[in-house]
Amino acid sequence: MKRICFLCLVMSLLLFIAGCWDQDLLKDARLLYGGGFDFAPKGKLRVTFVIQDVPAGEQQSPKNDIISAEGDTPMDAREHADDQISRHLRSYKNRFVLIGEELAKQDIYPVLEVFYRDPKSALNARIGVAQGTAEDILSLKKVGNVLIAEEIDELIKSKEETTTVPKVTLEKIYPVMLDPGEDFVLPYLMEQGARVDVSRIAMFHNNKLTGTLSPEESSMYLLLKNSKGKEARFTQNMSSIGEMSTTEDNPQRRYDFLTFNVDKLKRKMKLKVQSGNQITVHLNLKLKVSVIEYPKDRLEKKQVVAELNKRLSKKMTDLAQKTLEHMQKARCDGLGIGRQLMAFHPRVWKQQKEEWGSNYQKVKFAPVIQVEITKQGIIN
């Protein structure tokens, strides 16, 4: 009897402790799949959210709903957006955050802060900069047959694999954002026709957008950063006469180009501080590449391959030089040179940290890239 009473008591207790306080039912929520932030007049923020609605029927496909609102802070604007839709806006399934170009030119930390503070936010959301405004890109609603939210997420993901844009999520840039010795870079999204193009990198300095890199330079930056994706393809003009033969009316032009994929990458970065606080960064990259397309030469002769290796190395080194120049112009310390100084030359850092942005521009980079062709497909 005593035992039964006890059991009844326990059972009735269970009714009260079923997690009622924190339940958050999916049927009461509108799931936010992506968000865009833009600069609005009078110092306000304009947010655009992509909400995914999954219809009740199994046959129907999910639909996207786009909603925009203005506010002083991201959260304020989100509240205003919430006013316009039924049920509650929930962000724990958020896939990406887009920041409009104008807004990115100001400090982006205050825009992102709420994501870091909220225990329920999705920190693995991707982040990118939109050319023009984020609203314009999100307003496409559909790209081909794919909904905009999925398209952007999948597109950035596939571009990460081809070493075109860096793998960045909200969480990844957090430690870098607050660190004075390193700057982050983000994918740069452009609207082209009714499609989205992701091939460039947006450079930041002190959490402010300061420039973009061309597609080739973007891939080169990622190689210099030692963060190659699954593949990394480059196409180079190999004509020995130089640019002359590549004029448009030359019918032989198509024979001049070589496309290769970087299979293996070895990077060595050495930082030297000479007298007078001149900082020199030696970057040695060894690339093992496979030729994918080269109509001109047969690659069976060792001499030919050696010649190609030499020429490719020169071309790639030039490209690296150009990339680094652009980065220095934008003051973007994407390789974390300041971080290296902080860690291994604390005294030099102490002198330079006040004006690191301009001091970084005085750093000498000496990139040396060695290319070695190891594979050539199934024909010679």
Partner 1 sequence: MIPEKSRITQGQLMFFIVQSQVGVGILTLPHKMQESAKGGGWISVLIAGLAVQVIILILWALCRRFPSDTIYGFLPKITGKLLGNILCFLYIGYFLFSAGTVLAKFADVVGRWVLLSTPRWALLILALLTCMYLAKENLRVIARLFVISSLTIIVMVALSLCGYANANFSYIFPISEAGWGNIIKSANEALFPLVGYEAILVLYPFVEGKSGGKLKAASLGNMMITLFYTFEVFTSLVIFSPAVMPAVSEPLLYMLKGFSFQIIQRIDLIFLSVWIFVVSTAMVSWIYMATVGLGHFFHRGEHKKAVPYAICILFILAMIAQEPSVTDFYDQAIKISHYTFVVGLPLILLCFAYFMRKRGT
Closest distance of CB 125 from partner 1, Å = 9
Residue from 41, 119, 242, 251 in contact with partner 1 (CB under 8 A): 119
CB atoms within 10 A of CB 315: 17
Contacts with partner 1, 15-54, as mask; x by CB under 8 A: --x-x-xx--------------------------------
Residues 282-341 contacting partner 1, CB under 8 A: 336, 339-340
- If binding is defined by CB under 8 A, does position 247 make contact with partner 1? no
Place of tokens 């339940």: 23
Closest distance of CB 5 from partner 1, Å = 17
Q: Which residues contact 258 (CB under 8 A, 6 or more apart)?
A: 235, 236, 238, 291, 293, 294, 296, 308, 312
Contacts with partner 1, 337-356, as mask; x by CB under 8 A: --xx-xxx-x----------
Residue from 101, 151, 160, 182 in contact with partner 1 (CB under 8 A): 182
Closest distance of CB 347 from partner 1, Å = 10
DSSP E strand stretches across 140-194: 142-143, 146-147, 185-192
Residue from 109, 174, 255, 257 in contact with partner 1 (CB under 8 A): 174
Q: Which stretch binds partner 1 (CB under 8 A): 37-45, 176-184, 218-226, 350-358?
A: 176-184
- If binding is defined by CB under 8 A, does position 171 make contact with partner 1? yes
Nearer to partner 1, 157 or 233 (CB): 157
Question: Residue 242, by phi and psi: left (phi above 0), alpha (psi -120 to 50) or beta?
Answer: left
Nearer to partner 1, 9 or 306 (CB): 9
- Residues 269 and 367: beta-carbon distance below 8 Å: no
Closest distance of CB 276 from partner 1, Å = 23
The structure tokens listed for 357 are: 């942005």
- If binding is defined by CB under 8 A, does position 6 make contact with partner 1? no
- Residues 159 and 187: beta-carbon distance below 8 Å: yes
Length of the chain: 380
Residue from 99, 108, 122, 220 in contact with partner 1 (CB under 8 A): 122
Residue from 132, 180, 211, 357 in contact with partner 1 (CB under 8 A): 180
**What distance separates the 2 farthest-apart alpha carbons in the chain?**
101
Q: Which stretch binds partner 1 (CB under 8 A): 83-91, 172-180, 215-223, 360-368?
A: 172-180
Closest distance of CB 166 from partner 1, Å = 13
- The per-residue DSSP string of 235-255 comes to EEE--TT-GGGGSTT-GGGGG
User: Cα–Cα–Cα angle for 51, 54, 55, nearest 5°?
Assistant: 130
Q: How far is CA 159 from CA 20, 69, 151, 228, in A?
A: 43, 30, 12, 11
The structure tokens listed for 28 are: 């009461």
Cα separation, 110 vs 101, in Å, equals 15
Residue from 136, 153, 179, 372 in contact with partner 1 (CB under 8 A): 179
- Residues 227 and 168: beta-carbon distance below 8 Å: no
Q: How far is CA 279 from CA 233, 255, 360, in A?
A: 31, 42, 9
Which residues share a beta bridge with 368? 284
Closest distance of CB 124 from partner 1, Å = 5
The structure tokens listed for 326 are: 């652009």
Closest distance of CB 362 from partner 1, Å = 21
Three-state secondary structure string covering 270-325: EEEEEHHHEEEEEEEEEEEEEEEECCCCCCCCHHHHHHHHHHHHHHHHHHHHHHHH
Nearer to partner 1, 268 or 329 (CB): 268
Residue from 172, 233, 253, 353 in contact with partner 1 (CB under 8 A): 172
Nearer to partner 1, 115 or 260 (CB): 115
Closest distance of CB 95 from partner 1, Å = 11
Contact footprint for partner 1 (CB under 8 A): 17, 19, 21-22, 116, 119, 122-124, 169-172, 174-176, 178-180, 182, 336, 339-340, 342-344, 346
